[in-house]
Amino acid sequence: MSAAIIDGKAAAQALRDRIADEVGRFRSATRRAPGLAVVLVGEDPASAVYVRSKGKATIAAGMESFEHRLPADTSEEHLLALVEKLNHDPTVDGILVQLPLPAQIDESAIILAIDPDKDVDGFHPVNAGRLATGLPGFVPCTPLGCLKLLQAALGDLRGKEAVVVGRSNIVGKPMALLLLGADCTVTLAHSRTRDLPEVVRRADIVVAAVGRPGLVRGEWIKPGAAVIDVGINRTEGGLTGDVDYPAASAVAGAITPVPGGVGPMTIACLIRNTLVAAARRDGHLLPADL
Ligand X SMILES: Nc1nc(=O)c2c([nH]1)NC[C@@H]1CN(c3ccc(C(=O)N[C@@H](CCC(=O)O)C(=O)O)cc3)C=[N+]21
Q: Considering beta carbons, is residue 196 or 216 the nearer one to ligand X? A: 216
Binding flags for ligand X, 151-190, as an x/- string (CB under 6 A): ----------------------------------------
Our answer to whether residue 56 is catalytic in this structure is: no
- Give the up-direction half-sphere exposure of residue 155: CA atoms within 13 A in the CB hemisphere: 0
- Rounded alpha-carbon distances, angstroms, from residue 71 to 44, 68, 81, 87: 11, 10, 15, 21
Please provide the distance, in angstroms rounded to a whole number, between the alpha carbons at the two ends of the chain: 33
The answer to whether the annotation marks 2 as part of a ligand binding site is no
Q: How far apart are alpha carbons 20 and 18 in whole angstroms? A: 5
Question: Beta-carbon neighbour count of residue 14 at 10 Å?
Answer: 14
Q: Cβ distance 75 to 101 under 8 Å?
A: no
* In the complex, least distance from residue 158 CB atom to ligand X, rounded to whole angstroms: 29
Q: Considering beta carbons, is residue 125 or 260 the nearer one to ligand X? A: 260
Q: Where are the alpha helices (DSSP H) in the chain?
A: 8-30, 45-60, 76-87, 107-113, 125-133, 141-154, 172-181, 196-201, 245-249, 262-282
Q: How many residues bind ligand X (CB under 6 A)?
A: 18
Q: Considering beta carbons, is residue 218 or 260 the nearer one to ligand X? A: 260
Beta bridge partners of 208: 165, 229
Q: Cβ distance 141 to 270 under 8 Å?
A: yes
Q: Is 119 in the site for ligand X (CB under 6 A)?
A: no
Question: Of 7, 93, 119, 121, which is the active-site residue?
Answer: 121
- Give the up-direction half-sphere exposure of residue 131: CA atoms within 13 A in the CB hemisphere: 27
The answer to whether the annotation marks 232 as part of a ligand binding site is yes
Q: Is 96 in the site for ligand X (CB under 6 A)?
A: yes
Q: Cβ distance 261 to 228 under 8 Å?
A: yes
Q: Is 121 in the site for ligand X (CB under 6 A)?
A: yes
Our answer to whether residue 21 is catalytic in this structure is: no
Window 183 to 242, contacts with ligand X (CB under 6 A): 232, 239
Binding flags for ligand X, 29-68, as an x/- string (CB under 6 A): --------------------xx--x---------------
Binding-site entries for NADP(+): 166-168, 232
**Which residues are designated catalytic?**
54, 98, 121
Binding-site entries: 166-168, 232
Contacts with ligand X, residue ranges (CB under 6 A): 49-50, 53, 96-99, 121, 141, 232, 239, 258-260, 263-264, 266-267
